A and B are shown apart, each in its own frame.
Chain A
Amino acid sequence: MSKKAYSAPDAKQPVSAGKIAVYVILILWALISIFPVYWMLTFSLKNNNEIFGENVIGLPKYWVWENYTRAMNTGNMPLYFLNSVIVAVSTIVITLLAAVMATYAITRLDWKGRKSMNKFFMLGLTIPIHASIVPLYTTLAKLKMLNSYFALIIPYSAFSLAMGILISIGFMGDIPYDLDEACFLDGCGVWGTFCRVIAPLMMPAVATVGIYTFLQCWNELMFANVFISKDSLKTLPVGVQALSGQYTTDWGPIGAALSIATIPTLLVYVFLSKQIQDSFIAGAVKG
């Protein structure tokens, strides 16, 4: 779609006061939406004099990159970052594997009860994490698995699963059945078909499910806060929260820490905004 085709008719109409008012509100809300992040990125590069009076909302006059080195050195940020990456990547892999396999069984294999099985999984879209926090905590404690990556990876995978299946079903429907049949006739069997035909063609779903799962576990606070108390295993949200409590007067390094936690998400968003938005829409419309 070309943008010109749409904007041309608008240009002919006289610009009314109402339209200008609408535009002003749209721009105002855009500024309000973006302001906290803009402010964070700028004060992460300022010294205290600028932050606390000289230059509160402008761009930094002297770029204090030292804030970032301080956040990295004193605040364990690299460790929290690494923990978040490990948890996110493992969760994405497990969610994808389980979701794509289950989707294959539900949509491609022929058996009674596959529709009910799908509905059963879709229950997961509505179950709040509150429902399982106590049993998970006590069970993990019994298994001596609190304070381990698994204490987060397994619950995160389970709670991302319904969404993963929902998105995968949409994508798998686009793969022509002829391909399965051809492969079957060549004597592939279900596993062969799955590995050679379905899995490679599910790559677009992998991206969408992966992004959605990434955002969920990168930002999750309640489980991460409760299941992990050891500093060396904390993920970014919990780590940043602890840091902010320790350095209440040093805004520069805190800003740097907050930015370090946020920049990966922003980068993903800049490059994949359409996919991200689509995955959120898919979850809501079906859920």
Chain B
Amino acid sequence: MKRPFSYKLNIFLFLLPALILFVGVLIAPIIMSGYYSLTEWNGLTTPQFIGLANYQELFTSKSINIMRALKNAMLLALLSTFIQLPFALWLALKLSKKPRGERVFLSVYFMPVLISTVVIGQLWIKIYNPDYGVLNLLLRNLGLDNWTNIWLGDKKTALWAAFVPILWQYVGYHMLLMYAGIKGVPPELNEAAMIDGCTEGQVNRFIIIPYIKPILRVSVIFAVTGSLKSFDLIYVLTNGGPNHATEVPSTLMINLLFLRNRYGMGSTIAVMLIILCFVFAILINMVFKEEKGR
């Protein structure tokens, strides 16, 4: 059927608000960030094109020390993938067996995801408070006075202390995704396996986990890219301190941008982060595809 011009115009008009927002706020800025990352710029004068010098400086500068930030982020990614996700999977598997109070558990586990990271950060700062915090209080009551610590203020413990709330907050998120996936497993598969005499562990291992692999893949991608991009909780808990012990790429980026007015270098970190997230997403996809092939 031949469409009149007005029909095409209408299509365009329907798309217009979304396109303006999307191109103006997401697509154009990515391209601009790419360009800024190749410039020296303090935000006031015009950007000076300097090629890849920012990238070179980023990876060699001792004062920026991006490697420490990346190492911290990678540690978080590893903890997230190998501790948080398996625990979330365990919770999801157990909840999908319909224990009493299934819905209540599910809703309680997911609740921390919805609470503002500022609130969560402030609460954990108080939990970690060396004098009045619940953690040290608990240790003292258990007679473990030696274990008490200035959790977020001590270079040795700050990183781990900052990671705990991050991992804690998103267990429920991954659990929910996996739970939804497990609910999608056709019941016939489970029943058939049970009739064949499989134990619960075998059903989980050979039926459910292979079936929900697409969701596990999404969870791993979220866990890894989320760790690389992590900002909110670190910013609230330590803002990269003490003495840069908890610095992650995003806190470095914000500090370079708004404390040192290095807009070019800040963009360089942003672009590096986007590329890293992209590369890791592809790598994880490849790992999951290979598994499928075997």
Contact = CB atoms under 8 A, between A and B. Distances in A.
Interface of A: 6-7, 10, 22-23, 26, 29-30, 32-34, 36-37, 39-40, 51-53, 56-57, 94, 97-99, 101-102, 104-106, 109-111, 117, 120-121, 123-124, 126-128, 130-139, 141, 154-155, 157-159, 161-162, 165, 190-191, 194, 215, 218-219, 221-222, 225-226, 236-238, 240-241, 244, 251, 254, 258, 261-262, 265-266, 269, 273, 276-277, 280-281, 284-285, 287
B172 interface: yes
Interface in B175-190: 176-177, 180
B116 A134 contact: no
Closest 3 CB pairs of A and B: A158-B25, A132-B29, A102-B18
Given A117-B15, A131-B26, A284-B177, A269 B270 contact: no
8 contacts: A30-B105, A36-B120, A109-B11, A109-B14, A110-B3, A154-B25, A241-B236, A269-B111
Interface residues of B, number: 85
Given A51-B132, A244-B122, A284-B177, A134 B266 contact: yes
A99 B127 CA distance: 41
B122 A159 contact: no
B22 A280 contact: no
Given A26-B105, A101-B15, A261-B119, A284 B218 contact: yes
A134 B14 contact: no
B277 interface: yes
B24 A158 contact: yes
B114 A134 contact: no
B94 A134 contact: no
B193 interface: no
A145 B258 CA distance: 17
Contacts of A215: 114
Q: Is the interface of B mostly helix, strand, loop or mixed?
A: helix
B129 to A, nearest CB: 9
Given A22-B94, A128-B274, A221 B117 contact: yes
Interface stretch (B53-61, B62-70, B202-210, B227-235): B227-235
A268 to B, nearest CB: 8
Contacts of A162: 22
A237 B118 contact: yes
Contacts of A39: 123, 127, 134
Interface stretch (B30-38, B143-151, B155-163): B30-38
A102 B14 contact: yes
B118 A221 contact: yes
B99 interface: yes
B3 to A, nearest CB: 8
A33 B172 contact: yes
A130 B7 contact: no
Given A130-B229, A134-B33, A219-B117, A33 B109 contact: yes
Which one of A40, A126, A135, A258 has the highest number of Cβ atoms from chain B below 10 Å of its Cβ? Answer: A135
A154 B21 CA distance: 7
A90 to B, nearest CB: 13
B211 interface: no
Contacts of A219: 114-118
B218 A287 contact: yes
A158 B26 contact: yes
A47 B229 CA distance: 39
B98 interface: yes
Nearest to A84: B116
A9 B33 CA distance: 59
B17 A97 contact: yes
A190 B15 CA distance: 13
B108 A33 contact: yes
B15 A131 contact: no
A52 B137 CA distance: 10
A36 B18 contact: no
B25 A130 contact: no
A40 B114 contact: no
Contacts of A276: 114
Given A131-B33, A158-B26, A258-B119, 17 more contacts: A7-B98, A29-B91, A33-B111, A36-B112, A36-B124, A109-B11, A111-B8, A111-B11, A133-B257, A133-B270, A134-B267, A138-B263, A215-B114, A241-B122, A254-B122, A276-B114, A284-B177
